[in-house]
Structure 1
């Protein structure tokens, strides 16, 4: 940063020291909690010692948010909360779970391979992503959460699970000497009904407890005719205060939630793919073909007379049933401080969803494209009395994919620290994880539905063939599975690490670390074979891959690698610090990668420089970064199979978080990033070199601007705020053929913390009802446009929530 900019910051800092403080709240009003994001706050994520360090001392980028800030963001899910973090792109258009999360140029093809989720500093599942699973699916926000810390890059390759991308650490509330609690009721768009509760307090001398949870049901913004989200969660924590500021915490969380999973729908594209509009009669903001008729699905899956059937409930969607239990210990032993964080998790994570791949057509066009020697055909409705389907009716092939993953995970992070002198602290640590996944997949199972809100299944019979009439769809089913899988995987990771923090002077703090890790994976896999389900050539619908053939393959691999990091933080003035960091990290191959023959370890080198400052007048966090990847694995599941590639990427960019408080109660906040991320060494085949193409789904620019105004009265504290969000243009595919156009949204809210303990919160999202998509047609390898129609997964339309709570 130039000396002129530093001088300006120093001048503003000096002026801010003389600024009058904001007026105190009225005596009868409850004082709002201090915002956690202030640089004086202590952070624990990404630090070697359990006691953490001040944010201004940190030589890395970290975003923090307290309970109030979390609620102001009105997140639709735990992943959606990450929209407040610069350098992170979040796709929540699938609903509550199954979100795609991209981190500052880290290349991926879906889910969240570069984002780890923690609870109280312990990783919830030992690896961040598997096929049809990403870490945020195991977490739901509620009033038991005190704050969140989101680390990007920095020392992350050294600690916990060693993910070099982003670490999201949710920290639960603990009981204190003064009892506190609350009850909150929420309603909103889509017949939302939700209840949250929380209580914490002292149990006896040295013992404290807290518990709480939620239950929620909603039809959703896209009305599926059944609850698109329904379920709840219960959490509890018991804390024992020990001598020398030590602490023992035991906690548990039980989650049972069912969430409909939404996939791309038809849209109209124009202006070379830069403009999107709703498909006629199918509003992009609210429409879904999912409904009661497509909820309970039975598809023919195993051969026989009659063929065996698999039954699934699309209302179970991409939900989760999970139990999580953890123990944290911080204790002083002589000159040493020990910290141990461990947890165990078990649960079932299904994916029952309607996957789209082909653009819609009229029924007549669909029949003409599938004659197979016939001269014509007709369609009838499967349910509700049948009846003929007009040839001009719009129809859409949709596939019932059924994936069930039974997950188990145990993680343990042990650290021991000692002050070698008053300026130097050495930390030694060990990390261990044991995790498994039992998979049962059936991909394909295509049906034909009308393209309308809450569609109807269609049967088609082909006529005019000399061999007789042909059944093209039976009970709506057009074809069987194209890929079936039964698999059992187990993995174990063991790591040893060392870190050192040295306060070289009052202004300079230096730290470094090294980590050695070994991974061992074993798995047994049963593949699929192609059969005709009933052996009848006149039932064309069921030809294809449809049953596991019983043959088993195995995967077994052991890998080891070393990562390291070094950083420094220097105080330019008492209120301004600058930092620099470089690290080398990696990611071992996953279960699915090994199954697909992708055995390589991905490596990444990161370089970061930044400046941080905070006064009463303003705060600023500015970070520049550069990433260099090699050995990246790519997997694309199309409508007919799985495509894999290996490549590299390079990315550079700038992240910004800033706030200005020009008047008492008024705050103007901006977050955003500029990113230039491109693939490297990505030659797929003759005439197909994708080197230099932009990394998918990550815009060159995105930002959020939030003005807010808070004022105090005798009745309580009130705040009004709004957020303008801009997401730049992106590409959906590595070929850079499918454009995801830029879009913007407007959110707003009003909060009242009344003196009598009642809280009222009104929030609205996407108030302008904008159309924006976060995903295109990932099931094809082309531009995916025909006659101006394109499949995309749009953001949800305008929605509002009102919650009323009582706190004490």
Structure 2
């Protein structure tokens, strides 16, 4: 372990011992009137995610790990996307370098190769879409941040295994603002790097006696930090809610509609050396702001079948055109606390995007490889390469690269409902009984492959290539076929019943336990595929052996049942400090893509091809908050079995099954040594390794840093009726491996963010924030389209975004 890890972990350990000792000492708590308003709110903060009662529990009094962020904390973090909010959460590593959608998120000790299978995204306590991940869809892609959000709560493990979707990983619950007696009306204008133009509006307040409402949303356009020569983000969102106060409760209905196009960024050319330990810029390519995408390839054609071509637009990216309607009902009736949460989601979440393929090479090397494959008797340099736009010969030393222009159309629909009733049935025993139901669908049409030959330059130029024997290797840039083109429709139903009991043994000691029984039924129809030549010309090799649906389908179905449980205990050291322990066993079911892949994985598992993953977790933690400091610290252990992996390479879909074990410590610390100054430290250290698969057993779980932390100071300067808050964050992300084989190394990196918020009276706010101020070059993934070592010479990999600055002006009216 290096010195930085030893120092940080020693500091955390010392902090734990010191804080526990202080919390146990009588009279150590700072008087309530000495705390600031913000700290007082933290001490009394109530969370609703993972609690048995719909009314929630004080954060300090919960026997599980949960991170919260207010609206101001969210804005101070300057998240680039919904997934990027997770940088605030210890134990979670979010790769948000793809843009607004398509993030990869890793949760402490949970093995995952891509997307976000162990993160469920909720709105007002109900999942937006009940399945956390499908191929080319993950939960954060279905959510956009704006000024209608009051706060977010992120639960890790804990009792989430028995409530709602039963997610054993992380549950990300966004809480909408509701109208209050005091009206709130704001307009925010934002500009920044990449010609960002954004407007936000929010109006909320009392409509009539007992009736409250809100309406708000945003519209934005930007070229993006990586300018693709067309709008990277273009669109907006509108949200409205209506609340009716009831005797002992309330009913809230809401609707949110989003229509936005978002560019999706994959890898760019880089130079790797020192066995992958050193990453540097590729000649002529700025890895912090460059992208291969360009107007030249924006509108592209897919050769789908003989006589069938499809036109696509890269500007559509990984966008979203969808709406969610929801209703939350909470009321106490005859001593019973009743809660029902329901929503309906429908939308198109398509992926029209570039996916990088083979690593860069010279034009001469590309021609040599083409001759070996299609003209073996000719000299290796035989043939010609010309630019599609403008003609002209391509220099033999010009670096070129192939990238696929993929099309995945995905139409999603779902309905979810959770009903709970709670009551104190015996002295100190509060019983909760509930049920959860989800019905969901996905209709898919995929065209993967469609490789194009282009220069390895920012906003690349397309290239034609032909050989002396008449073979056309690339025409109009197109250099590869569609290698996988399934058409599929899927349906799923989940029904779960759960029972929980909370036993208040004394004023200091409380224990809880819960069980869940869930059944899932999946069915689907997937097209059979054949290979064909779309133009019946064997010399145009770029479209030979194209994957083509036959018009016949294979029916798929599967039924599963699982049991989950949780048990925990909390002991209060004093009013605002506690320790807790927690154990649980949770499950995630297989999803539609696992069902489709079952045939190829049959040899790996004799239960219909793909197992249902199961995880056992143990936690022990400490929580406290007062005017001088706050601390949320927990140690964890995870034991995972039966997780299936899928990797889509340049020409195939690979599958495997593994398990893992992991342990570590997470920490959220803050000290307030003087008035208006706060310094916080959040992060985690963890060690997780694969098992149950001889090919990877003992290797580190891919993409997860063993050590990461964020150091964030902030200082508020009062200026009469005005004030200025200065804040910043230093982030360290430790080294990782990009692949299960631990052959592709991802070096550690550090970033610096700075910001300032000026409050002018009670009407105006001006905020300026900069992310990655030092233009650090850090990688979030290697070339996921290739297998094996990729640690020397030119590579494709996905770096973090370069320096970005935003400025916003808010007016309250």
Q: Taking structure 1 as reference, are residues 189 and 54 closer, same or farther at Cα in structure 2, changes over 3 Å only? A: same
2:681 corresponding residue in structure 1: 670
2:414 corresponding residue in structure 1: 409
Q: Which structure's residues are more often helix, by fraction?
A: 2
2:301 corresponding residue in structure 1: 298
1:475 corresponding residue in structure 2: 476
Among 710, 716, 722, the alignment partner of 1:704 is 710
Pairing of 1:21-60 with structure 2 (within 5 A): 21=34, 34=38, 38-60=42-64
Is 1:569–2:570 an aligned residue pair? yes
Deviations 1:330-364 (A, max 9, x none): 11221211100000000001111111121111211
Kept after mapping to 2: 8 A contact 1:84/1:671? yes
Pairing of 1:423-502 with structure 2 (within 5 A): 423-463=428-468, 465=469, 469-502=470-503
1:628 corresponding residue in structure 2: 639
Among 577, 581, 603, the alignment partner of 2:614 is 603
- CA shift for structure 1 position 274: 1.0
Q: Taking structure 1 as reference, are residues 368 and 60 closer, same or farther at Cα in structure 2, changes over 3 Å only? A: same
Number of residue-to-residue matches in the alignment: 784
Q: Taking structure 1 as reference, are residues 745 and 471 closer, same or farther at Cα in structure 2, changes over 3 Å only? A: same
- CA shift for structure 1 position 702: 0.2
Question: Aligned partners of 1:141, 1:484: CA distance in 2, in Å?
Answer: 33
Q: Taking structure 1 as reference, are residues 784 and 530 closer, same or farther at Cα in structure 2, changes over 3 Å only? A: farther
Secondary structure (helix, strand or coil) at the match of 2:673 reads strand
Kept after mapping to 2: 8 A contact 1:256/1:320? yes
- CA shift for structure 1 position 22: 6.8
1:284 corresponding residue in structure 2: 287
Question: Aligned partners of 2:572, 2:26: CA distance in 1, in Å?
Answer: 14
1:658 corresponding residue in structure 2: 669
Secondary structure (helix, strand or coil) at the match of 2:460 reads coil
1:511 corresponding residue in structure 2: 512
- CA shift for structure 1 position 8: 3.6
Kept after mapping to 1: 8 A contact 2:274/2:791? no
Is 1:349–2:349 an aligned residue pair? yes
Question: Aligned partners of 2:790, 2:761: CA distance in 1, in Å?
Answer: 57
Secondary structure (helix, strand or coil) at the match of 1:768 reads coil
- CA shift for structure 1 position 171: 0.4
Question: Aligned partners of 1:651, 1:13: CA distance in 2, in Å?
Answer: 37
Pairing of 1:55-454 with structure 2 (within 5 A): 55-244=59-248, 246-304=249-307, 308-371=308-371, 372-373=374-375, 374-375=378-379, 376-383=382-389, 385-421=390-426, 423-454=428-459
What is the alpha-carbon root mean square deviation over aligned residues? 1.6
Question: Aligned partners of 1:218, 1:13: CA distance in 2, in Å?
Answer: 56
Secondary structure (helix, strand or coil) at the match of 2:595 reads helix
Secondary structure (helix, strand or coil) at the match of 1:160 reads coil
2:786 corresponding residue in structure 1: 780
Question: Aligned partners of 1:361, 1:226: CA distance in 2, in Å?
Answer: 27
1:581 corresponding residue in structure 2: 582
- Give structure 1 stretches of 5+ with no counterpart: 24-32, 684-688
Kept after mapping to 1: 8 A contact 2:610/2:644? no
Question: Aligned partners of 1:12, 1:570: CA distance in 2, in Å?
Answer: 15
Is 1:615–2:626 an aligned residue pair? yes
1:690 corresponding residue in structure 2: 696
- CA shift for structure 1 position 9: 2.9
2:8 corresponding residue in structure 1: none
Kept after mapping to 2: 8 A contact 1:433/1:494? yes
Q: Taking structure 1 as reference, are residues 13 and 288 closer, same or farther at Cα in structure 2, changes over 3 Å only? A: farther
The TM-score normalised by the length of structure 1 is: 0.95
- CA shift for structure 1 position 14: 4.8
- CA shift for structure 1 position 743: 0.2
- CA shift for structure 1 position 542: 1.2
Q: Taking structure 1 as reference, are residues 18 and 566 closer, same or farther at Cα in structure 2, changes over 3 Å only? A: closer
Is 1:798–2:803 an aligned residue pair? yes
Question: Aligned partners of 1:7, 1:767: CA distance in 2, in Å?
Answer: 37
- CA shift for structure 1 position 21: 3.6
- CA shift for structure 1 position 378: 1.1
Question: Aligned partners of 1:355, 1:37: CA distance in 2, in Å?
Answer: 46
